[in-house]
Amino acid sequence: MPSDPQIGDRQREILTAIVETFISTGEPVGSRTLARASREGLSPATIRNVMADLSDAGFLDQPHASAGRVPTAEAYRYYVEQISGQAHLAPQEETMISGSLTGVSDVQEFMERTSRVLSLISRNVGVTVATSGARNALEHVYFSRLGDQKVLAVVVTRSGLVRDRVLRLDLPQTDLDLASRYINENFRGWTMEAMRGELERRIEQERSEYDRLMRSIEQLYKQGALAAEQSSQVVFVDGAANLVAGEQDRQALQEMLKTLEEKEKIAQLLGAYLDVKQEAVRVVIGLSETLPSMQNFVLIGAPARSGNDVVGSLAVIGPTRMDYQHTITAVSYIARLFDKILNESE
């Protein structure tokens, strides 16, 4: 751990140059290389002194006595703090992303396409998780009497999911029509979870005014006509082959690829690091706390929102030597597009 992350201007400039040079070349960075590129005309000896201080502070490692220095995880973390919000995607990249996601009509389709787009634009692994079930917004409900003690309840969500249940109830069709009309007029666009909470409140508060209607809705409600599906997750992973070219440790690569095949671990990973309350992109360097096989990897991700609801998450996973500026900007751009595209499709 660095003893003092508030380093001086010259140290910051040299550390930034080391990180960016190492990301570009993959080779340990020496003082002579930095001296040649120095805008201040710093000598190799001056740069070596600064590099020694940065090493003492925990920002640099030296793989071999005669080699240059390489950034530590702490160096990457510091670097990310300095560059956040500075980069912008090229217009042609924004056009490519928007074009790839045009015509999307539901969360799962968006996530499936997004994993591919993130993989292409970052040259790493694109990962997305679509959360379905409780967060699907209501399109309409329909209740039909099937016979004595049987009612068919049909719930259609805005994403196109249709769920039907047969309930053991004895209500006349007129009451069922009244109940479905009330729900459709008052709760279209609500999530199932929010609608159930509000209905429960109204059943108590409005019982005297709408006694017969509320009694019917209460029976439908208690029998599970409006029960939300248990939340499930669909995971999309694209671009694992991108790791093969860059990862030199074959055992680490095999463990990483095996992890990517286990979709529940990927969902666990994103769930552990992406807080639904966060607004900005999060960068996590070193993922071993959740998955030991990902010690030397980075996650750059954000939650995907539709209105006030978080309906999934999207991320890039790659080695610590990656283009942070470009990847952070791409993830941020796609996360902002999510709500806009889904709202336009409705």
CB atoms inside a 10 Å sphere around CB 200: 12
Q: List, in order, residues 6 or more apart from 165 with CB less than 8 Å away.
A: 152, 153, 224, 225, 227
Over the chain, what is the mean pLDDT?
A: 82
Is the backbone of residue 189 left (phi > 0), alpha (psi -120 to 50) or beta?
left
pLDDT value, residue 192: 73
Query: Three-state DSSP class for 99?
Result: helix
pLDDT value, residue 45: 92
Give the end-to-end CA distance of the chain in Å, rounded to a whole number. 49
Lowest mean pLDDT across 20-24, 28-32, 99-103? 99-103
pLDDT value, residue 4: 46
CA distances from 301 to 47, 313, 324, 329 (A): 35, 7, 12, 10
CA distances from 286 to 87, 108, 163, 186, 297 (A): 23, 28, 41, 47, 5
The band of 248, judged by pLDDT with boundaries at 50, 70 and 90, is low
pLDDT top residue among 93 and 223: 93
d(C-alpha 148, C-alpha 155), whole Å:
21
The H-assigned helical ranges of 2-160 are: 9-25, 31-37, 44-56, 73-83, 91-101, 107-122
pLDDT at 237 over 50: yes
pLDDT value, residue 3: 40
d(C-alpha 137, C-alpha 104), whole Å:
16
What is the DSSP pairing of strand 150-157 with strand 162-167? antiparallel
- Percent with pLDDT over 70 in the chain: 84
The answer to whether residues 57 and 41 touch, using CB atoms and an 8 Å cutoff, is no
pLDDT value, residue 345: 53
* Helix (H) or strand (E) segment spanning residue 61: strand 60-61
Cα-Cα-Cα-Cα dihedral sign, residues 204, 210, 215, 220: negative
pLDDT at 203 over 60: yes
In this prediction the pTM is 0.70
* Residue bearing tokens 């409900």: 141
Lowest mean pLDDT across 126-130, 157-161, 175-179, 263-267? 157-161
CA atoms within 13 A on the CB side of 300: 29
d(C-alpha 324, C-alpha 314), whole Å:
16
pLDDT value, residue 304: 85
Mean pLDDT of 204-224: 70
pLDDT value, residue 132: 59
CA angle 107, 112, 115 (to 5 degrees): 120
pLDDT value, residue 102: 82
Concatenate the DSSP letters of all residues of 136-149 into one string.
PBEEEEEEEEEETT
The answer to whether residues 115 and 256 touch, using CB atoms and an 8 Å cutoff, is no
The band of 140, judged by pLDDT with boundaries at 50, 70 and 90, is confident
Mean pLDDT of 1-25: 80
Residue 39 tokens read as 């805008």
pLDDT value, residue 49: 93
d(C-alpha 86, C-alpha 329), whole Å:
9
For the CA atoms of 39, 42, 43, 48, what is the dihedral angle to 10 degrees? -110
Using only C-alpha atoms, the chain has a radius of gyration, in whole angstroms, of 27
Mean pLDDT of 5-16: 84
Going along the chain from its start, the domains and CATH numbers come out as 9-83 (1.10.10.10), 91-133+231-345 (3.30.450.40), 138-222 (3.30.390)
pLDDT at 2 over 50: no
Instruction: Write the pLDDT tens digit of every residue in 153-165.
Output: 888 877 666 778 8
The answer to whether residues 301 and 316 touch, using CB atoms and an 8 Å cutoff, is yes
Instruction: Write the pLDDT tens digit of every residue in 142-193.
Output: 889 987 888 888 888 776 667 788 888 888 898 889 889 988 999 888 877 7
Residue 250 CA to its chain's centroid (Å):
28
Residue 30 tokens read as 């020496």
Report the range out of 38-47, 141-150, 314-323 with the highest average pLDDT.
314-323
pLDDT value, residue 86: 67
